[in-house]
């Protein structure tokens, strides 16, 4: 798939010929230097943004060419989201936040399933609390429960531990791991954190809008090694671009 922002000289190619699959029941992390296209890729995969060229499918369902209404329905029925900022509704209790997507969809979340998730996340004694009465870690656990409550085909997590201390972050990552191992959930997570990526089954690395590498069964050290290589590559490319521009200026100056 391809995705560009802007046009002419200011055009940024955020995704260049990216082709990637995420296996069902697997936990994949997407990593890459800042500006490498991680958020763009996730937004295109989740139907929050559209590609310029190429197709996106979830299972047998193609997202490409769907109108806004159909995309909204598809996101509601097939996708769970976990955001860095939790994005809970402040006026609702934890339990109402968890069951909201199902009630918007006009169905009731399966009570046995919801209570199993709530128990796994150790939220049973927090269900009547509003988000402001919960710690950051508790709020993100509520957001995890909300994402899983409708049994989505895939959960997209955008920096889910970015706002949490190490301990709360680890709890969230362990839950994501459990949801893959015990519930067969499919998860795609964007992260900057090699320790977070090490909880995944697979890490896909983006640099400059392209998929440049991947690791299976990653360790944090192996992820750090790969990232160092891409950051050095990005620095070298910037240095090349800068010297190219300089030459260009000299030319126009001479003309
Ligand atoms: N709405 C937009 N308009 C113009 N350019 C954009 C827009 N969104 C992203 N870009 C550009 O596209 C490229 C990829 O951005 P993207 O946010 O996907 O990267 P990222 O890897 O998620 O970065 P970060 O780790 O800093 O969040 C960047 O060069 C960015 O400046």
- Residue with the smallest CA separation from ligand 1 atom 28 is 35
Q: Report how far ligand 1's centroid is from the alpha carbon of 11 (Å).
A: 12
Q: Report how far ligand 1's centroid is from the alpha carbon of 1 (Å).
A: 16
Given this model, what pLDDT does residue 88 score?
Answer: 95
- Which of 3, 8, 12 gets mutated to test ligand 1 (max ligand atoms within 8 A of its CB)? 12
- Which of 18, 39, 159 gets mutated to test ligand 1 (max ligand atoms within 8 A of its CB)? 39
217 located within any domain: yes
Given this model, what pLDDT does residue 201 score?
Answer: 98
162 located within any domain: yes
Q: What is the CATH number of the domain that holds 222?
A: 3.40.50.300
Given this model, what pLDDT does residue 155 score?
Answer: 97
137 located within any domain: no
92 located within any domain: no
Q: Report how far ligand 1's centroid is from the alpha carbon of 234 (Å).
A: 15
73 located within any domain: yes
Question: How many domains, the chain?
Answer: 1
- Residue with the smallest CA separation from ligand 1 atom 4 is 5
Supply the range of the domain harboring residue 209: 3-84+154-254
- Around ligand 1, the residues with Cβ closer than 6 Å are 5-6, 12, 14, 32, 34-40
138 located within any domain: no
- Sequential DSSP letters for the chain: -BEEES-GGG-EEEESS------TT-EEEEE-STTSSHHHHHHHHTTSS--SBS--EETTEE-TT--HHHHHHHHHHHEEEEETT----TTS-HHHHHHHHHHHTTS---HHHHHHHHHHTT-GGGTT--GGGS-HHHHHHHHHHHHHHT--SEEEEESTTTTS-HHHHHHHHHHHHHHHHTT---EEEE-S-HHHHTTSSEEEEEETTEEEEEEES--HHHHHHHHHHHHHHHHHHHHHHHHHHHHHHHHHHH-
User: Measured from the CA of 190, which atom of ligand 1 is nearest?
Assistant: 22
204 located within any domain: yes
218 located within any domain: yes
Given this model, what pLDDT does residue 119 score?
Answer: 93
Mean of the per-residue pLDDT values of the chain: 89
User: Measured from the CA of 209, which atom of ligand 1 is nearest?
Assistant: 14
pTM here? 0.89
Given this model, what pLDDT does residue 242 score?
Answer: 61
Given this model, what pLDDT does residue 250 score?
Answer: 34
pLDDT in tens, 103-141: 777 777 788 999 999 999 999 999 999 999 999 999 999
pLDDT beneath 50, residues of the chain: 244-255
Given this model, what pLDDT does residue 101 score?
Answer: 83
């Amino acid at each position: 798939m391809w995705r560009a922002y802007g046009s002419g000289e200011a055009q940024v190619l955020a995704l260049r010929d990216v082709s990637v699959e995420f296996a069902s029941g697997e936990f994949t992390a997407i990593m890459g230097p800042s500006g490498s296209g991680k958020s763009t890729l996730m937004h295109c995969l989740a139907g929050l943004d559209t590609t310029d060229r190429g197709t996106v499918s979830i299972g047998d369902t193609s997202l490409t060419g769907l109108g806004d209404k159909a995309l909204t329905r598809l996101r509601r029925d097939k996708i769970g989201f976990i955001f860095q900022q939790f994005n809970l509704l402040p006026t609702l209790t934890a339990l109402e936040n968890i069951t909201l997507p199902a009630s918007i969809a006009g169905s009731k979340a399966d009570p046995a399933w919801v209570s199993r998730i709530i128990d796994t996340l150790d939220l049973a004694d927090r269900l009547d609390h509003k988000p402001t009465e919960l710690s950051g870690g508790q709020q993100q656990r509520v957001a995890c429960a909300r994402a899983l409550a409708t049994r989505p085909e895939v959960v997209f997590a955008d920096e889910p531990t970015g706002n949490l201390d190490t301990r709360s972050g680890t709890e969230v990552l362990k839950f994501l791991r459990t949801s893959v191992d015990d519930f067969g959930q499919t998860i795609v997570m964007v992260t900057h954190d090699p320790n977070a990526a090490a909880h995944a089954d697979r890490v896909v690395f983006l640099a400059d809008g392209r998929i440049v590498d991947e690791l299976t069964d990653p360790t944090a050290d192996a992820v750090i090694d790969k990232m160092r290589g891409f950051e050095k590559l990005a620095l070298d490319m910037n240095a090349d671009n800068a010297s190219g521009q300089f030459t260009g200026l000299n030319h126009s100056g001479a003309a």
